Amino acid sequence: MSLLDYFRSKKTNTASTAKERLQIIVAHERKRRSGPDYLPQLERDILEVIRKYVDIPADQIAVSLEQRSDELSVLELNVTFPDDKR
Amino acid sequence: MAKIIVVTSGKGGVGKTTSSAAIGTGLALAGHKTVIVDFDIGLRNLDLIMGCERRVVYDFVNVINGEANLKQTLIKDKRVDNLFILPASQTRDKDALTKDGVERVLTELAKEFDFILCDSPAGIESGAMMALYFADEAVVVTNPEVSSVRDSDRILGMLSSKSRRAEQGLEGIKEHLLLTRYNPERVQKGEMLSVEDVKEILAIELIGVIPESQAVLNASNSGQPVIMDKDSDAGQAYLDTVQRLLGETVPFRFLTVEKKGFIKRIFGG
Amino acid sequence: MSEHSLELKGSLFPLSVLHCTDVSVSSLEPLLSAKLAQAPGFFYQAPIVLNLQDCQQVPDFVALKQLFVALKLVLVGVTGASPTIKAAAQDAGLAVLQAGKTASTKANEVPQTAISSQQLAPSTMDSKIVEQTVRSGQQIYAKGADLIIKGAVGAGAEVIADGNIHIYGSLRGKAIAGASGDTSKRIYCFNMQAELISVAGNYWLSDSLQGEFWGKPACIKLQDDTLVISELV
């Protein structure tokens, strides 16, 4: 790495932030498009129910449907509870 | 009573969403309760530029259809007080935004907000027409480039004839010109239309000139409106623009070629 | 994108006008046939308007229509007709075309058919005034009147008048004066950069406007069937 490169790389690498954000959101949107129609609404309804008990922001809940085999599909729900409200 | 400002252009890719995000944030930073509404039908952009893409649960069309209320749908910005976002729907139904529905939502928003910024999609189809219909003021975003100028002229025609104010014979929409991606070096060389050229053709008041800047891409990469990058030329130009929008007289900067110092020339300014 | 199955737009078409005082089929037939024989291809299925300014009695429109069909002409309508003749023409399914409030100079021409456009003496007309810039995509039509625009005419805009057109600003779009055929009408503007200008159907595109008058205050008029551009001092 030359001396000039050292000075330049002090600026944060926003392209990698962008790539991370895109990977997350595009994966999320692709899943929604391929899953059953009720999944987005299911996700919202679950969020509303949980919110009745704990105040959770939307990005702390993830619902996904996986077809493991012909007979088995798994509905996975991930909820990250905020630390101080255990 | 809220002021409804539409950010529109006709031409795509000239900086409407970047400008909506920056101006909306600027108004909120100045203490005004502001909501930015994404009027696109099918392609959602504002949430990405504002960095809240992972917090979108409901959208504009959900509210219009009564599937959710505003409180559930509006996304509060994490960095700036007084700033909210109403995300666009990802439906492909071009008739999803009805005049009545939009009017109901805007009326409800007007009760609690000082400014409602409508981020228009490109073109002159239903999303764009809906975004400008209820406006009190318009920021017409234009690049110093032939198709952008002609499309802006077209949009100005729409603003003066197809808005509710025009239909009801009220005082017309106040039109402001926002020139973006301005490059003083190329203007000096005679390669780019100047501010005066564009002003002469479009004949509306200039509210801001935003220089072509690397800060804009960095901002959208990070999900942070460029106005928050206070060291950048674009950020400062947007700050000036917001001040002018609020009625202050601010001299125009970034119009001339800057004499770069030695260090800046090596490391880029 | 919403689709329209029907769109109604204003358009400009040059039409040949037939002046005659005697519209009886017996006198018209030989004269018309002779004329057509001189240039049969030119008038094949041509749309024709009958100028009945000097016609006293109500013509037999049914017979006239048959005559035109036989001669392979298309009788579209009448102009300069008195109210009674107008009514009869409409009953016969013909259009009544407005020529403007001026008199024809061929008032006492002997039953000689002349296939030509109308020569109208200059006249004063009402004015339609527009107090703002005309934007791209907009169209303004001053029917039977002059058009005065206090502002510019943007590229992609159209301003049309049966009378004269005065633009107190730049002309970057299309300006069409004398839209109903009045060749005495003119176009004036502060800055000539038009996409198209036209007087009574004679037109120039922007290519023909390049040169010493481009970008300057100019006046366009029709002189001996040719467009002439001059500088507006």
pLDDT in tens, chain A (86 residues): 556 555 555 456 888 899 889 888 888 888 777 777 777 788 788 888 888 888 887 778 777 777 777 778 788 888 888 776 44
Other Cβ atoms closer than 10 A to B8: 31
Task: Say whether A15 and B220 touch across the interface (CB within 8 A).
Answer: no
Residue of C nearest to B162 (CA): C138
CA–CA distance, A72 with A66 (Å, rounded to integer): 9
pLDDT of residue B265: 61
When pLDDT is averaged across residues B255-264 and rounded to a whole number, the result is 75
Lowest mean pLDDT among B26-40, B175-189, C68-82: C68-82
Lowest mean pLDDT among A71-80, B127-136, C9-18: C9-18
Q: Which helix (H) or strand (E) holds B99?
A: helix B99-112
- For the stretch B45-78, pLDDT in tens is 999 999 999 999 999 999 999 999 999 999 999 9
Option in A7, A14, A48 nearest B267 (CB): A7
Task: Say whether B222 and A17 touch across the interface (CB within 8 A).
Answer: yes
Whether chain C lies against chain A with 3 or more Cβ pairs closer than 8 A is no
- Among A60-64, B216-220, C102-106, the range with the most confident prediction by mean pLDDT is B216-220
Q: ipTM of the assembly?
A: 0.80
Q: How far is B194 from chain C (nearest CA, A)?
A: 18
When pLDDT is averaged across residues B84-92 and rounded to a whole number, the result is 92
Lowest mean pLDDT among B180-184, C3-7, C226-230: C3-7
pLDDT of residue C107: 38
Lowest mean pLDDT among A17-26, A72-81, B155-164, C6-15: C6-15
Q: What are phi and psi of C115, to 5 degrees?
A: -90, 100
Question: Hey, is the C-beta of C37 within 8 angstroms of any chain B C-beta?
Answer: no
pLDDT of residue B48: 95
SS3 content of chain B, % helix, strand, coil (to 5): 45, 15, 40
Q: Confidence class of residue B266 from pLDDT cuts 50, 70 and 90?
A: low
Q: What are phi and psi of B83, to 5 degrees?
A: -115, 125
Lowest mean pLDDT among A32-36, A54-58, B8-12, C198-202: A32-36
Q: Which chains, if any, share at least 3 CB pairs under 8 A with chain A?
A: B
CB B18 within 8 A of CB B217: no
Whether chain A lies against chain B with 3 or more Cβ pairs closer than 8 A is yes
pLDDT of residue C101: 43
Question: Hey, is the C-beta of B61 within 8 angstroms of any chain C C-beta?
Answer: no
Residues of A in contact with B221 (CB under 8 A): 14-15, 17-18, 21
CB B31 within 8 A of CB B139: no
When pLDDT is averaged across residues B210-238 and rounded to a whole number, the result is 96
Residue of B nearest to A16 (CA): B221
When pLDDT is averaged across residues B125-142 and rounded to a whole number, the result is 97
Lowest mean pLDDT among C20-29, C76-85, C200-209: C20-29
* B-interface mutation test, from A3, A16, A44, A45, most B Cβ less than 10 A away: A44
pLDDT of residue C98: 72
Q: How far is B138 from chain C (nearest CA, A)?
A: 16
Option in A8, A48, A59 nearest B55 (CB): A59
pLDDT of residue A12: 62
Question: Hey, is the C-beta of B161 within 8 angstroms of any chain C C-beta?
Answer: yes
pLDDT of residue A60: 81
Lowest mean pLDDT among B8-22, B105-119, B220-234, C219-233: C219-233
CA–CA distance, B110 with B105 (Å, rounded to integer): 9
Percent of chain C with pLDDT over 90: 42
Lowest mean pLDDT among A31-40, C28-37, C193-202: A31-40
CA–CA distance, B145 with A53 (Å, rounded to integer): 55
* C-interface mutation test, from B154, B162, B163, B200, most C Cβ less than 10 A away: B154
pLDDT of residue B248: 96
pLDDT of residue B214: 95
- Among C35-39, C67-71, C102-106, C149-153, the range with the most confident prediction by mean pLDDT is C149-153
* A-interface mutation test, from B44, B55, B61, B218, most A Cβ less than 10 A away: B218
Task: Say whether C1 and B161 touch across the interface (CB within 8 A).
Answer: no
- From C149, C174, C144, select the one nearest C161 (Cα to Cα): C144
